[in-house]
Amino acid sequence: MKAASTNLDILLVDDEQADAFLVRKILRDAQFAATVAHCSDGIEALDALRRRRNASAALPDLILLDLNMPRMDGHEFLAALAREEGCGQIPVVVLSTSSAELDMDRASAGGARGYLTKQADLRLFSSALLALVRQYLQQAELPPRARPPATPPRNTRILLVDDEAADAELVAIALRKAWQGEFELVRSETLGGVSAQLGDRLPDLVLLDLGLPDASGLHSIERMRALVGRTPIVVLTGNDDSDFALEALAAGAQDYLFKSRLVAADLVRAMRHAIARSQLEERLAESEERMALALAGAELGMWDWDITRRQITVDTRWAAMLGESAGVLAVDAQGWLTRAHPEDLGAALNALNSHFRGLSPGFRFTHRLRHLGGGWVWTLAAGKVLQRDGCGRPLRAVGIMQDIGESKRMEADLLRLATTDALTTLSNRRVFVQRLAHELARIRRHWQAPSALMMLDLDHFKRINDRWGHQFGDRALCHFSTILRSCLRECDLPARLGGEEFAVLLPGTDAQAAMTVARRIREQLAQQPLAAEDETVGIRVSIGVTTLTAADPQPEACMSRADAALYRAKQHGRNREEFIEDDREHKLA
């Protein structure tokens, strides 16, 4: 058994470093007590498990497994894991981009305990992953005695509380005659004697007389309920009064039988009905509790909208997101809608109106709401109409709201990782090529407006690295990036293509203006050397310039031309700018 303070030990088997980063970030940001070890394929994971086993170290509590990996894919890993000594019982949950039923069925047949799709919606993926880890964390920490029994009780235990021996004998005869299956009948003549008769095991059903020596009337039901909890209670009484019977049911009894009309079949039917009803109520209570835990765990707030009265009732989680108190809010010009960000309100109302007109099965939208203390909170709202009038007009809708601020921040982090150079924070090659392609498309439509492209390379950068070290080399790259930005306009796009190679897109710029910008970059760089120990280090750059033309078939064509101009600058002594106008000159170069 894992102690409550111990981390959940997770092994992630996935060849995508970005997915490993995302899983760790989701768990870390949610403050989960979980440790994630990462292997890039099935072979590496099996080796890691064998090392643990051979060192007598604890095996993982949970394996998160991708399906599409090199060397050994997820399905092959599942088969190998089942054969691996001591590892077959480790729960495995598949994390895959595939939502195909074939993959799900094959993974399940291979022994996977669950299947989680890597969704493009980071909020949904994050919520699903956290719910999954919560489930296994609870299982790891659950004490044995709290786990459900492996087998049901051997027989039905019935507690009869009645001081009349003759009535008790009639009940026993009726049960022996009509009850199907084994039962144990325990009798107490008083409420005070119930605990001694029951011992450690509660009954499955109570048959209660309301005329006892130490208790009588409805108070008997209340006292019995305190003793046996949710155990169903069937009242047996000589009081042949229908109104009193209704009061007994309201007090907590499952059924009410008159002794004067007692028939064995009716008694057994009432008892079985009471037990079945109690079990259903218990399952419902457990389901509601799980729902409440799920809502709390997913940080979902509930709302109930009375559309005709223009009022919305919100719970404590909804209210806490916005600094409100739980209760009823107005949905009018002074209420909830005024809290929505103006940029998001249109899309939100479109989603609502589409559903209200019956064009969609529900509504779902993200929008920002103003917090009572100031600032904006990113939220996801989802729900549906539960009640309409005879003309189809909506009367009542219910749904949930979730704070997705962390998801939005995570999306921004991942977007930054995917689009920028980590060292210089300039755009990366992929973004630059995309923007260049868009600019070429614009030029084909409006060829009168020129644009220019520069390729830049720091001169003798290898010598700088060799002489001063890579850390100083990184400083030099960042220093150059800062100067580069300072020489450009807001609409220009600088990028680091790799190593010491940079590029700049200059929209709306002709050849002469582009050469002026290139000169300014060189001059600014020459005027701002870097300090290294007791001396300064001058950094120089060579620049190749070209203009974009409508004849360029793709970005690589003009990039190749600018590269040729850069090569010419290197050939002519470095620390200079050169211009090549078209492909004919490019070929000559």
- The answer on pLDDT for 427 being more than 80 is yes
Which two three-digit tokens encode residue 184? Answer: 């144990």
Q: What is the pLDDT of residue 152?
A: 38
- The answer on pLDDT for 509 being more than 90 is yes
- The answer on pLDDT for 499 being more than 80 is yes
CA-to-CA distance for 407 and 34, rounded, in angstroms?
Answer: 20
Q: What is the pLDDT of residue 120?
A: 52
| pLDDT, tens only, 65-83 | 988 888 888 889 999 998 8
Q: Burial level of 145, CB count in 10 A (0-12/13-18/19+)?
A: exposed
Q: What is the pLDDT of residue 138?
A: 60
Q: To the nearest 10°, the Cα dihedral for 407, 412, 413, 418?
A: 130
Tell me what the pLDDT averaged over the chain comes to.
83
How far are the Cα atoms of 9, 187, 210, 226, 299 from residue 165, in angstroms, in the given order? 61, 10, 15, 25, 57
C-alpha closest to that of 209 among 163, 245, 171: 163
Q: What is the pLDDT of residue 249?
A: 83
Residue 374 region, left (φ>0) first, then alpha (ψ -120 to 50), else beta? left
Q: What contacts 24+ positions apart, CB below 8 Å, involve 424-429?
A: 424/477, 424/478, 424/481, 424/496, 425/481, 426/481, 426/484, 426/485, 426/494, 426/495, 426/496, 426/502, 427/493, 427/494, 427/495, 427/496, 428/495, 428/496, 428/497, 429/495, 429/496, 429/497, 429/498
Name the percent of the chain lying above pLDDT 90. Answer: 32
Who has greater pLDDT, 465 or 296?
Answer: 465
In order of start, what are the domains of the chain with their CATH numbers?
8-146 (3.40.50.2300), 156-288 (3.40.50.2300), 300-401 (3.30.450.20), 420-588 (3.30.70.270)
CA-to-CA distance for 444 and 473, rounded, in angstroms?
Answer: 40
Mean pLDDT of 184-202: 84
Confidence band of 285 (pLDDT split at 50, 70, 90):
low
CA-to-CA distance for 74 and 519, rounded, in angstroms?
Answer: 55
At position 312, the amino acid (one-letter code) is: I
- At residue 277, what are phi and psi to the nearest 5 degrees? -65, -40
Q: Which residues are CB-neighbours of 407 under 8 A, at least 6 positions away? A: 122, 123, 126, 378
Q: Would you say 337 and 331 are in contact if contact means Cβ atoms under 8 Å apart?
A: yes
At position 336, the amino acid (one-letter code) is: W
Confidence band of 149 (pLDDT split at 50, 70, 90):
very low
Q: Burial level of 104, CB count in 10 A (0-12/13-18/19+)?
A: middle
| C-beta neighbour count of 355 within 10 angstroms | 19
- The answer on pLDDT for 423 being more than 60 is yes
Confidence band of 274 (pLDDT split at 50, 70, 90):
confident
Residue length of the chain? 589
C-alpha closest to that of 521 among 579, 567, 563, 481: 481
| pLDDT, tens only, 345-364 | 889 889 989 999 889 888 99
Q: What is the pLDDT of residue 266?
A: 78
Q: What is the largest CA-CA distance in the chain?
A: 120
Q: Would you say 164 and 172 are in contact if contact means Cβ atoms under 8 Å apart?
A: no
How far are the Cα atoms of 510, 529, 562, 568 from residue 516, in angstroms, in the given order? 10, 21, 16, 18
Confidence band of 146 (pLDDT split at 50, 70, 90):
very low
| pLDDT, tens only, 286-319 | 655 555 555 555 567 888 888 888 888 888 888 8
Bridging pattern class, strands 92-96 and 62-65? parallel
CA-to-CA distance for 241 and 257, rounded, in angstroms?
Answer: 10
Who has greater pLDDT, 539 or 256?
Answer: 539
Mean pLDDT of 495-504: 95
Mean pLDDT of 445-466: 90
Q: Would you say 182 and 173 are in contact if contact means Cβ atoms under 8 Å apart?
A: no
CA-to-CA distance for 375 and 133, rounded, in angstroms?
Answer: 32
Bridging pattern class, strands 452-458 and 577-579? unpaired
